[in-house]
Structure 1
Amino acid sequence: MKLRIGILGTRGIPNYYGGFEHISEYVSAGLVQKGHAVTVYNSHNHPYTASSWNGVNIVHCYDPEYLIGTAGQFAYDFNCLRDARTRNFDVVLLMGYTSSSVWGRMYPPNSAIITNMDGLEWKRSKYAKPVQRFLKYAEKLAVKYSQFYIADSKVISSYLKDKYSIDSRYIPYGADLFSEEEREQLDKTDAQKEDYFLLMARMEPENNIEAILEGFNESASAKNFKVLGDTSNRFGKYITHRFKNDSRIQFKGSIFDNTAVRSLQNNSYLYFHGHSVGGTNPSLLEAMASEALIAAHNNPFNKSVLQSDAFYFDNATEVRRLVENVQRHDTERTMVKNNLHKIQYQFNWEKIIDEYEEFILECYHAHNFERIVPARG
């Protein structure tokens, strides 16, 4: 059966922004290849201005975020939903709920509504208490107005079951393996094998960047530490100032060349992943796929993905211990191989696209059966 599917909740495709855009790009194109008619909603400010991409229909909606800041996201989602109500989609897939669930009464009434429930946004320390309270409320509205749910982490799936007594389908993000073509493009001058530690993240407190760099700063390591990420925000400026006197720490800014990023991951001595909130993190999967040896913050989200195939830390003291003591021997090489195996068989895009299609079809049939067959009692 071929369905009409609308994907909302992202800034659009192809991906220029982040996680939900990343997965929407792969899933939408994959569903088109399977014969479905897929529409993705793009911000009118998105760099890609054409009306289709790899067979995916693109609808550009007005997005005033550039004028009024965060409040513009709510207006953008309102505009997308208003348009979606006119298009007779069989299924609407909402990627996240932060600024869309307040419009829950506007969800297209004849479509099966699926929401990817995101990564417990209200836990993020970057948000003030009033914003955290709103995000909890938005989560509650998403549960109320959606009919079906996706969790990209088993931890989130368990949380939804415990908190709201709802079932969700666990479907994680995916990653591509580090290709031979990417290896051939490796810049040897910038990615000398195993000569540096590496961290790649948004400059936010919950990513444990300060603890990681503090641990390295206090270490006796002779290696450099490369930090990838935009440091122009308040926390980024604080971090660069705090560690400005350690010449080993190199703030490289944002690097948008994916091949260059993956080469740096592949050639790092140890890759630090400090994310402590969220689901299956795309940058973690890419580091696994790039065959990096990984040290991760000790939390259920990371452990559910990496299991025993990583080093874990809770604080700067433990980071320092890893920096000074981790070796690259057979045990560590086995950890890298095991994580690569996970990408090949658990987190590969082909499998994830299949799982999205299977769930979307299930939801469509369940939605239409419930509409046709009256409830008993």
Structure 2
Amino acid sequence: MKLRIAILGTRGIPNYYGGFEHISEYVSAGLVKRGHSVTVYNSHNHPYNQESWNGVQIRHCYDPEYLIGTAGQFVYDMNCFLDARKQNFDVVLIMGYTSSSVWGQLYPKNSTIITNMDGMEWKRSKYSKPVQKFLKYAEKLAVQYSQYYVADSRVIKSYLKDKYNINCRYIPYGADLYTDMEREQCEPEQALKEDYFLLMARMEPENNIEAILEGFNQSNSDKSFKVLGDTGNRFGKFITNKFANDERIQFKGAIFDTPKVRALQNNSYLYFHGHSVGGTNPSLLEAMASEALIAAHNNPFNKSVLNTDAFYFSNAAEVTHLVENVQRNDPERNMVMNNLHKIQYQFNWEQVIDQYEEFIVESYKHKNYETIIADQR
């Protein structure tokens, strides 16, 4: 069965922004290869301004975020839905709900609506109490107006079952294995083997950056600590100022050169993953695929992916202990290899695309079967 599928809720492809754009890029191109007609909605401000990409049709919609800030995301999503209503898509896949579920009454009436329910966005400490309250409401609307649901984490799937009594299909993110070509693209002086610790994250409180760097700052390590991420926001400026006197801590800014990032992950002595909110995190999968030894914040999201194949921390003191005591011997090498095995067999993009296709076709058939039955009554 070949379907007309639209993907909404992202800034667009190819990915210049984040996780949903990343997965939309892979899934849309993969579905086209499997014979489906796929359209992805892009912001009119997206750097890519062509009408197709790798066989995927691109529809550009007006996005005033650059003029009016966050409120512009809501206007952009509204514009996407208004356009999608005219296109007669069989299936509309909505990535997230933060600024889209308020337009639930505008969802295309004859399309099968599937929503990727994202993480528990209302838990993010960067948001004020009123915003957190709104995000809980937006989550409820997404459940109300969607017909089928995807969760990228088993923890999220369980939460949504308990909270709303809905059955989500668990489909994780994917990651590409670290290739010999990528290894060769990074100059040796850019990533000296195992002489540094590494952290890569958005500068936000819930990513536990302060606790990680505090723990390192209090350690007696003679290694450096490289921090990848844009430090231009308020929290980023606070962090750089707080640790400015520790010459071992190096703020490298945001790096979008994938081979370089993956080489840095691969060559790090220990990679710290501090994310504590949300589902399966793409940067964690990429670190696993890059054969990094990982220390992760101790929470159900990270544990559901890493299991026993990582070190865990909950505070700065535990980070200090890891920095001063983690070795790189056979047990640690086994942890790295076990995580690589997970990428090969659980978080592999081809398998992820297969699961999306299976669920999309299944949802379309189920919805249309129910419609036929209802019409016959």
Range class of TM-score, shorter chain = over 0.9
The equivalent residue for 1:342 is 342
The equivalent residue for 1:18 is 18
- State the one-letter code of the partner of 1:12: G
The CA distance in 2 between the partners of 1:185 and 1:37, in whole Å, is 35
- State the one-letter code of the partner of 1:165: N
The equivalent residue for 1:235 is 235
Cα drift, residue 185 of structure 1: 1.2
The equivalent residue for 1:284 is 284
Residue 52 of structure 1 pairs with residue 32 of structure 2: no
Cα drift, residue 190 of structure 1: 1.6
The equivalent residue for 1:266 is 266
The equivalent residue for 1:131 is 131
The CA distance in 2 between the partners of 1:322 and 1:186, in whole Å, is 28
Residue 307 of structure 1 pairs with residue 307 of structure 2: yes
The equivalent residue for 1:97 is 97
TM-score between the two structures when normalised by the length of structure 1: 0.99
* 1:1-377 matched pairs, under 5 angstroms: 1-374=1-374
Residues 273-313 of structure 1, C-alpha deviations (whole Å, 9 max, x = no match): 00000000000000000000000000000000000000000
Cα drift, residue 186 of structure 1: 2.0
The CA distance in 2 between the partners of 1:231 and 1:332, in whole Å, is 31
Residues 54-103 of structure 1, C-alpha deviations (whole Å, 9 max, x = no match): 00000000000000000000000000000000000000000000001000
Residues 123-154 of structure 1, C-alpha deviations (whole Å, 9 max, x = no match): 00000000000000000000000000000000
Residues 11-47 of structure 1, C-alpha deviations (whole Å, 9 max, x = no match): 0000000000000000000000000000000000000
Give 3-state SS (helix, strand or coil) of 1:132's partner.
Answer: helix
Give the share of equivalent positions with the same residue, in percent.
Answer: 79
The CA distance in 2 between the partners of 1:183 and 1:375, in whole Å, is 59
- State the one-letter code of the partner of 1:259: P
Structure 1, unpaired ranges of 5+: none
The CA distance in 1 between the partners of 2:247 and 2:176, in whole Å, is 34
Cα drift, residue 375 of structure 1: 8.6
Q: Tell me how large the CA RMSD over aligned residues is.
A: 0.9
TM-score between the two structures when normalised by the length of structure 2: 0.99
The CA distance in 1 between the partners of 2:77 and 2:190, in whole Å, is 41
- State the one-letter code of the partner of 1:335: M
The CA distance in 2 between the partners of 1:101 and 1:369, in whole Å, is 25
The CA distance in 1 between the partners of 2:312 and 2:198, in whole Å, is 15
Cα drift, residue 374 of structure 1: 2.0
Structure 2, unpaired ranges of 5+: none
The CA distance in 2 between the partners of 1:376 and 1:39, in whole Å, is 33
